[in-house]
Amino acid sequence: MTDLKNLLDRAAGTDPDVTDDDVAADLSRGRRAARRRRFAGAGLTTAAAALVVGALAVPLAFAPGAQSGGPDSALSAPPATGPATGPATGTVTAMSAGEVLLVAAAHEEKAEPTTGKYFRVRKVQSREWTVMAGGKIVCCGSIPAGPGGYKLRELTVTETWTGLKGGTAWFGTRSLGAHPATAADEAAWRKAGAPANWNAGPSDTAGKQDQVISSKPGKATFFELKDDADRYTALGMNGTLQDVLALPADPEQLRARLLGVKAATAPDATDVAALAQLSAGLLSDTPALPKVRGAAFRLLAGLPGATVQQNVTDLGGRTGTAVGFSFPAYQLNLRLIVDPKTGKLLSSSHTGGKNGDSSILLSGWTNDTPEAPPATIK
């Protein structure tokens, strides 16, 4: 594990808290714990309800699909290994998903906690639209376009500024425009006259104005959310900064805390699916302390069924090593992209159902004045 040791040294500093033996011990404990956590009824019941935990959280939406009631693939699939680039030599070394996540844990545990007026989270999200022959457009890409039709991919930037207790919060969103999803879609779009705008009909807003999809970036909306200050819905609808700062830094204790959130919000979901998604939300959408973030990565490293893929690019154009979890029963995929040279979390994303794809561009404390999200990805 020499190359992994180099990564850990770079992530943790000159006197790292995490050694090769620590990594091996963590992986061994995680695998033993995963074997102990087998339980009956891994799938959703037919009466399971879909849940979305607020705008700040990675949406915890467990909607049963065609495989509802069947076993969750993450419970049975063995951890996969994949190549990762060593920082010093440029050589390729096989690293498991657990090892990649433990490198990230070492990095996060050495990070310095910061404070500010607002905790800001900027995301870029994508969704597909289906344009039928004749120009009718419907969301969200699940309907086949058919002859003469094509699909569009729209990118949207959202930004949330969560204030302190007694303060306020702000939320903004801006469309970056829609474009043909694939080369084949572009050909069909050109054949249809290369339109620059598409009318999706009345929106679900109070005014019921027509929702016009454009190929150009749109005007930003930005508004105050007075009731959402000090609210971190990654820990449930009523999660607060105090709750976030009180999270335990021990992976098993953190696991128990997150399973408590799962019991209150999505009791029919499997433990593995809920832990993967709640941990990802904690990492991307809350100001959890460095040791807690490290514990979240260690918790993820102990979950079964993860896969590794090298040289993955997120919606922000950043490249890293991806650790993914797939839950076909919920039509859900989760992916964390980590810089293999430093262990820094670059992106947290989810795909599945109508949610499309979402990546974290920015997450942290700031003293800046709240403002609408930019018209570019940055």
pLDDT in tens, the chain (378 residues): 333 334 333 333 333 344 445 444 544 544 444 344 333 223 222 222 222 222 223 333 333 332 323 333 332 233 333 333 333 333 335 568 888 888 888 888 888 778 899 999 999 988 889 999 988 898 876 788 989 999 999 999 999 999 998 999 999 999 999 999 999 999 999 999 999 999 988 876 666 788 899 999 999 999 999 889 999 988 988 899 999 999 999 999 999 999 999 999 889 989 999 999 899 889 989 999 999 999 999 999 889 888 898 898 888 888 888 999 988 887 788 888 888 777 778 888 877 655 567 788 888 899 999 999 998 888
pTM for this model (two decimals)? 0.71
Number of domains making up the chain: 1
d(CA 91, CA 97): 18
Residue 32 within a domain: yes
Residue 195 within a domain: no
Residue 137 within a domain: no
Residue 324 within a domain: yes
Residue 128 within a domain: no
Range of the domain at 15: 2-116+227-366
Residue 89 within a domain: yes
Residue 209 within a domain: no
Residue 265 within a domain: yes
